[in-house]
Structure 1
Amino acid sequence: MKPTTRGTLAAVVTGVAAAMGASAAPAVAAETVPVPVPLEGVEHSLNVKMPRLGGELPLLRPGAPEGPQYVEGRLLPASSLPQVPLGAALPGVVADTPLPRVVGQGFEHVGVDAPAADLRTLTPGLHVDTPLTSPNPQMFGLPLTKDPEVGLLAPVLQTEPSANLGVG
Protein backbone atom coordinates (compact mmCIF):
# COMPACT_ATOMS: atom_id res chain seq x y z
CA MET A 1 0.00 0.00 0.00
CA LYS A 2 1.34 3.41 -0.92
CA PRO A 3 2.11 5.96 1.80
CA THR A 4 -0.48 8.38 0.36
CA THR A 5 -3.18 5.69 0.50
CA ARG A 6 -2.24 4.90 4.11
CA GLY A 7 -2.41 8.58 5.03
CA THR A 8 -5.80 9.00 3.37
CA LEU A 9 -7.14 5.89 5.12
CA ALA A 10 -5.81 7.13 8.50
CA ALA A 11 -7.44 10.54 7.96
CA VAL A 12 -10.80 8.92 7.13
CA VAL A 13 -10.66 6.62 10.18
CA THR A 14 -9.70 9.56 12.41
CA GLY A 15 -12.58 11.66 11.05
CA VAL A 16 -15.11 8.86 11.59
CA ALA A 17 -13.84 8.28 15.16
CA ALA A 18 -14.07 12.01 15.92
CA ALA A 19 -17.62 12.17 14.54
CA MET A 20 -18.67 9.15 16.61
CA GLY A 21 -17.11 10.64 19.75
CA ALA A 22 -18.72 14.05 19.15
CA SER A 23 -22.17 12.54 18.70
CA ALA A 24 -21.89 10.45 21.89
CA ALA A 25 -20.67 13.28 24.14
CA PRO A 26 -23.98 15.19 24.59
CA ALA A 27 -25.84 12.06 25.70
CA VAL A 28 -23.25 11.36 28.38
CA ALA A 29 -23.11 15.00 29.53
CA ALA A 30 -26.84 15.19 30.34
CA GLU A 31 -27.43 15.67 34.06
CA THR A 32 -31.22 16.06 34.01
CA VAL A 33 -34.07 14.81 31.88
CA PRO A 34 -36.70 17.42 30.90
CA VAL A 35 -40.31 16.41 31.65
CA PRO A 36 -42.90 18.62 29.93
CA VAL A 37 -46.56 18.48 30.98
CA PRO A 38 -48.61 18.60 27.75
CA LEU A 39 -51.61 20.87 28.25
CA GLU A 40 -51.95 22.10 24.64
CA GLY A 41 -54.85 19.72 23.93
CA VAL A 42 -56.91 21.17 26.77
CA GLU A 43 -56.04 24.69 25.63
CA HIS A 44 -57.22 24.04 22.07
CA SER A 45 -60.34 22.06 23.00
CA LEU A 46 -61.62 24.51 25.63
CA ASN A 47 -60.21 27.64 23.95
CA VAL A 48 -58.70 28.74 27.27
CA LYS A 49 -55.17 29.77 28.04
CA MET A 50 -53.62 27.01 30.17
CA PRO A 51 -50.56 27.16 32.39
CA ARG A 52 -47.25 25.95 31.03
CA LEU A 53 -45.78 23.29 33.29
CA GLY A 54 -42.59 21.32 33.10
CA GLY A 55 -39.87 19.83 35.21
CA GLU A 56 -36.44 18.29 35.24
CA LEU A 57 -35.62 14.93 36.80
CA PRO A 58 -32.03 14.28 37.91
CA LEU A 59 -29.82 11.43 36.80
CA LEU A 60 -27.75 9.80 39.54
CA ARG A 61 -24.00 9.72 39.09
CA PRO A 62 -22.46 7.23 41.52
CA GLY A 63 -18.90 7.89 42.55
CA ALA A 64 -16.13 5.66 43.83
CA PRO A 65 -15.89 5.12 47.58
CA GLU A 66 -12.67 5.91 49.37
CA GLY A 67 -10.39 2.94 49.89
CA PRO A 68 -9.68 1.40 53.28
CA GLN A 69 -7.67 3.56 55.68
CA TYR A 70 -5.51 1.48 57.95
CA VAL A 71 -4.76 2.89 61.40
CA GLU A 72 -1.94 1.71 63.62
CA GLY A 73 -3.20 -0.35 66.56
CA ARG A 74 -6.43 -1.50 64.86
CA LEU A 75 -7.04 -4.86 63.22
CA LEU A 76 -9.71 -3.61 60.79
CA PRO A 77 -9.56 -0.57 58.50
CA ALA A 78 -10.95 2.70 59.87
CA SER A 79 -13.90 2.66 57.46
CA SER A 80 -15.36 -0.86 57.41
CA LEU A 81 -18.33 0.22 55.30
CA PRO A 82 -17.15 3.29 53.36
CA GLN A 83 -19.37 6.21 52.43
CA VAL A 84 -20.28 6.21 48.72
CA PRO A 85 -20.60 9.60 47.00
CA LEU A 86 -23.65 10.13 44.80
CA GLY A 87 -23.92 13.19 42.58
CA ALA A 88 -27.26 14.27 41.20
CA ALA A 89 -29.51 17.30 41.02
CA LEU A 90 -32.65 18.39 42.80
CA PRO A 91 -35.66 18.24 40.48
CA GLY A 92 -36.41 21.49 38.69
CA VAL A 93 -39.82 23.03 38.06
CA VAL A 94 -41.05 25.53 35.48
CA ALA A 95 -44.59 26.89 35.87
CA ASP A 96 -46.07 29.80 33.94
CA THR A 97 -49.75 30.69 34.12
CA PRO A 98 -51.66 33.39 32.28
CA LEU A 99 -53.66 35.98 34.20
CA PRO A 100 -56.49 37.90 32.54
CA ARG A 101 -55.69 41.57 32.14
CA VAL A 102 -58.22 43.77 33.88
CA VAL A 103 -57.76 46.69 31.50
CA GLY A 104 -57.20 46.07 27.77
CA GLN A 105 -56.64 42.96 25.65
CA GLY A 106 -54.35 39.97 26.22
CA PHE A 107 -52.96 38.20 29.20
CA GLU A 108 -50.31 38.80 31.77
CA HIS A 109 -48.20 35.96 33.08
CA VAL A 110 -46.99 34.80 36.49
CA GLY A 111 -44.20 32.28 36.44
CA VAL A 112 -41.94 30.32 38.74
CA ASP A 113 -38.66 28.89 37.51
CA ALA A 114 -36.75 26.67 39.92
CA PRO A 115 -33.89 25.13 37.94
CA ALA A 116 -32.37 21.82 38.91
CA ALA A 117 -29.73 22.41 41.58
CA ASP A 118 -26.58 20.32 41.97
CA LEU A 119 -26.77 17.89 44.84
CA ARG A 120 -23.81 16.22 46.53
CA THR A 121 -24.48 13.32 48.87
CA LEU A 122 -22.58 10.68 50.80
CA THR A 123 -24.28 7.49 51.95
CA PRO A 124 -24.01 6.46 55.61
CA GLY A 125 -20.84 4.65 56.60
CA LEU A 126 -19.74 2.36 59.40
CA HIS A 127 -16.64 2.13 61.60
CA VAL A 128 -16.15 -1.20 63.37
CA ASP A 129 -13.24 -2.46 65.46
CA THR A 130 -12.74 -5.92 66.93
CA PRO A 131 -12.58 -6.65 70.67
CA LEU A 132 -8.93 -7.58 70.25
CA THR A 133 -5.85 -5.38 70.08
CA SER A 134 -2.98 -5.83 67.68
CA PRO A 135 -0.42 -8.52 68.59
CA ASN A 136 1.47 -7.62 71.75
CA PRO A 137 5.20 -8.51 71.68
CA GLN A 138 5.34 -8.67 75.50
CA MET A 139 2.64 -11.38 75.48
CA PHE A 140 4.51 -13.54 72.91
CA GLY A 141 2.49 -12.05 70.02
CA LEU A 142 -0.95 -12.70 71.53
CA PRO A 143 -3.55 -9.93 71.35
CA LEU A 144 -5.20 -8.41 74.42
CA THR A 145 -8.95 -7.97 74.82
CA LYS A 146 -10.66 -4.57 74.78
CA ASP A 147 -14.14 -3.13 74.36
CA PRO A 148 -15.52 -3.44 70.81
CA GLU A 149 -16.01 -0.18 68.93
CA VAL A 150 -18.83 0.65 66.52
CA GLY A 151 -19.44 4.04 64.94
CA LEU A 152 -21.99 5.23 62.40
CA LEU A 153 -21.03 7.92 59.89
CA ALA A 154 -23.92 10.25 59.21
CA PRO A 155 -25.04 10.83 55.61
CA VAL A 156 -24.09 14.12 53.96
CA LEU A 157 -26.39 16.28 51.83
CA GLN A 158 -25.17 19.52 50.23
CA THR A 159 -27.04 21.70 47.73
CA GLU A 160 -27.78 25.30 46.83
CA PRO A 161 -31.31 25.51 45.40
CA SER A 162 -32.59 28.68 43.77
CA ALA A 163 -35.86 29.90 42.29
CA ASN A 164 -37.07 32.88 40.23
CA LEU A 165 -40.53 34.38 40.45
CA GLY A 166 -41.57 36.47 37.48
CA VAL A 167 -44.57 38.66 36.74
CA GLY A 168 -45.09 40.19 33.32
Structure 2
Amino acid sequence: MKSTTRGTIAAVITAVAAATGAAAATPAAALGTVPVPVPLEGAESALGMELPKLGGEIPVPMPGTPEGPRYVEGRLIPEHALPQLPVHGGLPGIGLRAPLPHILGDGFDHVGVSTPASDLRTLAPGLALDAPLTPPNPDNFGLPDLKVPQAGVLAPVLQTVPGADLVTGAGL
Protein backbone atom coordinates (compact mmCIF):
# COMPACT_ATOMS: atom_id res chain seq x y z
CA MET A 1 0.00 0.00 0.00
CA LYS A 2 1.35 3.42 -0.95
CA SER A 3 2.15 5.97 1.71
CA THR A 4 -0.39 8.42 0.19
CA THR A 5 -3.13 5.80 0.51
CA ARG A 6 -2.15 5.14 4.13
CA GLY A 7 -2.17 8.88 4.80
CA THR A 8 -5.62 9.28 3.26
CA ILE A 9 -7.01 6.39 5.32
CA ALA A 10 -5.46 7.85 8.49
CA ALA A 11 -7.01 11.26 7.72
CA VAL A 12 -10.45 9.71 7.18
CA ILE A 13 -10.22 7.70 10.42
CA THR A 14 -9.11 10.82 12.31
CA ALA A 15 -12.03 12.85 10.89
CA VAL A 16 -14.54 10.12 11.81
CA ALA A 17 -13.11 9.89 15.35
CA ALA A 18 -13.28 13.68 15.75
CA ALA A 19 -16.87 13.80 14.50
CA THR A 20 -17.86 10.96 16.83
CA GLY A 21 -16.19 12.68 19.79
CA ALA A 22 -17.89 15.98 18.98
CA ALA A 23 -21.28 14.30 18.68
CA ALA A 24 -20.79 12.60 22.04
CA ALA A 25 -19.64 15.85 23.69
CA THR A 26 -22.48 18.01 22.37
CA PRO A 27 -25.23 16.88 24.81
CA ALA A 28 -22.91 17.34 27.80
CA ALA A 29 -21.91 20.81 26.62
CA ALA A 30 -25.54 21.70 25.90
CA LEU A 31 -26.53 21.15 29.51
CA GLY A 32 -26.35 24.36 31.41
CA THR A 33 -28.13 26.90 33.49
CA VAL A 34 -29.82 30.18 32.75
CA PRO A 35 -28.89 32.95 35.22
CA VAL A 36 -31.81 34.84 36.74
CA PRO A 37 -30.76 38.12 38.42
CA VAL A 38 -33.19 39.88 40.72
CA PRO A 39 -32.77 43.65 40.17
CA LEU A 40 -33.02 45.51 43.47
CA GLU A 41 -31.04 48.64 42.47
CA GLY A 42 -34.22 50.73 42.10
CA ALA A 43 -35.38 49.81 45.59
CA GLU A 44 -31.90 50.61 46.95
CA SER A 45 -31.97 54.13 45.52
CA ALA A 46 -35.60 54.69 46.59
CA LEU A 47 -34.98 53.54 50.16
CA GLY A 48 -31.49 55.00 50.42
CA MET A 49 -30.01 51.83 51.88
CA GLU A 50 -28.05 48.81 50.77
CA LEU A 51 -30.24 45.80 50.03
CA PRO A 52 -29.28 42.13 49.64
CA LYS A 53 -28.00 40.88 46.30
CA LEU A 54 -30.22 38.09 45.01
CA GLY A 55 -29.91 35.87 41.97
CA GLY A 56 -30.60 32.37 40.82
CA GLU A 57 -29.89 29.74 38.20
CA ILE A 58 -32.49 27.73 36.37
CA PRO A 59 -31.19 24.52 34.77
CA VAL A 60 -32.20 23.55 31.26
CA PRO A 61 -33.61 19.99 31.21
CA MET A 62 -32.46 17.80 28.34
CA PRO A 63 -34.29 14.58 27.41
CA GLY A 64 -32.07 11.58 26.90
CA THR A 65 -32.37 8.49 24.76
CA PRO A 66 -34.58 5.77 26.22
CA GLU A 67 -33.18 2.28 26.57
CA GLY A 68 -34.88 0.17 23.93
CA PRO A 69 -36.74 -3.07 24.53
CA ARG A 70 -34.61 -6.15 25.16
CA TYR A 71 -35.65 -9.56 24.02
CA VAL A 72 -35.35 -12.18 26.72
CA GLU A 73 -35.44 -15.91 26.09
CA GLY A 74 -38.69 -17.43 27.28
CA ARG A 75 -40.80 -14.28 26.86
CA LEU A 76 -43.03 -13.37 23.93
CA ILE A 77 -43.09 -9.63 24.65
CA PRO A 78 -39.74 -7.86 25.00
CA GLU A 79 -38.61 -6.62 28.40
CA HIS A 80 -39.39 -2.92 29.03
CA ALA A 81 -42.35 -2.78 26.63
CA LEU A 82 -42.77 0.91 27.49
CA PRO A 83 -39.22 2.14 28.16
CA GLN A 84 -38.30 4.68 30.80
CA LEU A 85 -37.42 8.12 29.39
CA PRO A 86 -34.30 9.67 30.97
CA VAL A 87 -34.22 13.42 31.56
CA HIS A 88 -31.00 15.15 32.62
CA GLY A 89 -31.05 18.59 34.11
CA GLY A 90 -30.51 20.03 37.51
CA LEU A 91 -31.98 21.54 40.61
CA PRO A 92 -32.25 25.32 40.54
CA GLY A 93 -29.60 27.31 42.35
CA ILE A 94 -29.94 30.51 44.33
CA GLY A 95 -27.53 32.99 45.82
CA LEU A 96 -28.23 35.61 48.47
CA ARG A 97 -25.73 38.09 49.94
CA ALA A 98 -27.07 40.37 52.64
CA PRO A 99 -25.23 43.25 54.30
CA LEU A 100 -24.55 43.10 58.04
CA PRO A 101 -23.62 46.22 60.01
CA HIS A 102 -19.98 46.09 61.08
CA ILE A 103 -19.88 45.94 64.87
CA LEU A 104 -16.44 47.58 65.32
CA GLY A 105 -16.67 50.46 62.87
CA ASP A 106 -18.23 51.95 59.73
CA GLY A 107 -18.84 49.90 56.63
CA PHE A 108 -20.59 46.65 56.06
CA ASP A 109 -19.80 42.99 56.26
CA HIS A 110 -21.95 40.42 54.57
CA VAL A 111 -23.51 37.04 55.10
CA GLY A 112 -24.15 34.89 52.07
CA VAL A 113 -26.11 31.74 51.38
CA SER A 114 -25.79 29.94 48.08
CA THR A 115 -27.13 26.70 46.77
CA PRO A 116 -25.48 26.03 43.41
CA ALA A 117 -27.43 24.31 40.69
CA SER A 118 -26.80 20.59 41.05
CA ASP A 119 -27.10 17.81 38.51
CA LEU A 120 -30.33 15.85 38.48
CA ARG A 121 -30.91 12.54 36.71
CA THR A 122 -34.43 11.19 36.37
CA LEU A 123 -36.14 8.26 34.70
CA ALA A 124 -39.86 8.35 33.96
CA PRO A 125 -42.00 5.38 34.98
CA GLY A 126 -42.00 2.45 32.57
CA LEU A 127 -44.07 -0.65 31.93
CA ALA A 128 -43.10 -4.32 31.75
CA LEU A 129 -45.54 -6.85 30.28
CA ASP A 130 -45.53 -10.54 29.48
CA ALA A 131 -48.13 -12.46 27.45
CA PRO A 132 -50.23 -15.30 28.90
CA LEU A 133 -48.54 -17.74 26.50
CA THR A 134 -45.16 -19.42 26.58
CA PRO A 135 -42.92 -19.79 23.56
CA PRO A 136 -43.71 -22.76 21.29
CA ASN A 137 -43.30 -26.02 23.18
CA PRO A 138 -41.80 -28.89 21.11
CA ASP A 139 -43.37 -31.45 23.50
CA ASN A 140 -46.82 -30.02 22.69
CA PHE A 141 -46.43 -30.24 18.88
CA GLY A 142 -45.10 -26.68 18.74
CA LEU A 143 -48.12 -25.10 20.43
CA PRO A 144 -47.57 -22.63 23.28
CA ASP A 145 -48.64 -23.41 26.84
CA LEU A 146 -50.78 -21.13 28.98
CA LYS A 147 -49.29 -19.22 31.89
CA VAL A 148 -50.24 -16.38 34.20
CA PRO A 149 -49.93 -13.00 32.44
CA GLN A 150 -47.49 -10.56 34.02
CA ALA A 151 -47.61 -6.78 34.23
CA GLY A 152 -45.38 -4.48 36.19
CA VAL A 153 -44.68 -0.79 36.59
CA LEU A 154 -41.05 0.30 36.62
CA ALA A 155 -40.65 2.87 39.36
CA PRO A 156 -39.42 6.37 38.53
CA VAL A 157 -35.84 7.21 39.50
CA LEU A 158 -34.54 10.50 40.92
CA GLN A 159 -30.81 10.98 41.63
CA THR A 160 -29.13 14.18 42.78
CA VAL A 161 -26.59 15.51 45.27
CA PRO A 162 -27.65 19.00 46.41
CA GLY A 163 -25.35 21.26 48.38
CA ALA A 164 -25.33 24.66 50.08
CA ASP A 165 -22.72 27.18 51.28
CA LEU A 166 -22.95 29.71 54.11
CA VAL A 167 -20.27 32.43 54.04
CA THR A 168 -19.46 35.65 55.86
CA GLY A 169 -16.87 38.26 54.95
CA ALA A 170 -15.98 41.87 54.32
CA GLY A 171 -17.76 43.94 51.70
CA LEU A 172 -20.87 43.10 49.76
Mapped to 2, the partners of 1:119 and 1:94 lie a distance apart of 19
Mapped to 1, the partners of 2:114 and 2:161 lie a distance apart of 15
Mapped to 1, the partners of 2:155 and 2:64 lie a distance apart of 18
> Is the partner of 1:73 in helix, strand or coil?
coil
Instruction: Indicate conservation of the 8 Å contact 2:31/2:62, yes or no.
Output: no
Mapped to 2, the partners of 1:71 and 1:78 lie a distance apart of 7
Who is 2:36 aligned against?
A: 35
- 1:103 to partner: Cα distance: 2.8
> Is the partner of 1:144 in helix, strand or coil?
coil
> One-letter code of the match for 1:164?
D
- 1:30 to partner: Cα distance: 5.1
Q: Deviations over 1:131-155 (max 9, x none)?
A: 1111222222221111111122111
Q: Deviations over 1:2-45 (max 9, x none)?
A: xxxxxxxxxxxxxxxxxxxxxxx8xx635111011111100011
> One-letter code of the match for 1:43?
E
The answer to whether 1:152 aligns with 2:153 is yes
Mapped to 2, the partners of 1:104 and 1:29 lie a distance apart of 48
> One-letter code of the match for 2:143?
L
> Is the partner of 2:139 in helix, strand or coil?
helix
Who is 2:129 aligned against?
A: 128
Q: Deviations over 1:51-74 (max 9, x none)?
A: 111110111111101111001111
> Is the partner of 1:45 in helix, strand or coil?
helix
> Is the partner of 1:96 in helix, strand or coil?
strand
Q: 1:119 to 1:130 in 2, by over 3 A?
A: same
Who is 2:76 aligned against?
A: 75
Mapped to 2, the partners of 1:121 and 1:30 lie a distance apart of 14
Alignment size in residue pairs: 142
Could you state the TM-score of these two structures normalised by the residue count of structure 1? 0.79
> One-letter code of the match for 1:100?
P
Q: 1:30 to 1:74 in 2, by over 3 A?
A: closer
Mapped to 2, the partners of 1:78 and 1:29 lie a distance apart of 31
Mapped to 1, the partners of 2:159 and 2:33 lie a distance apart of 18
Q: 1:78 to 1:29 in 2, by over 3 A?
A: closer
Mapped to 1, the partners of 2:31 and 2:45 lie a distance apart of 33
The answer to whether 1:118 aligns with 2:119 is yes
The answer to whether 1:138 aligns with 2:139 is yes
Once superposed, what is the RMSD of the aligned Cα atoms? 1.5
> Is the partner of 1:49 in helix, strand or coil?
coil
Instruction: Indicate conservation of the 8 Å contact 2:134/2:145, yes or no.
Output: yes
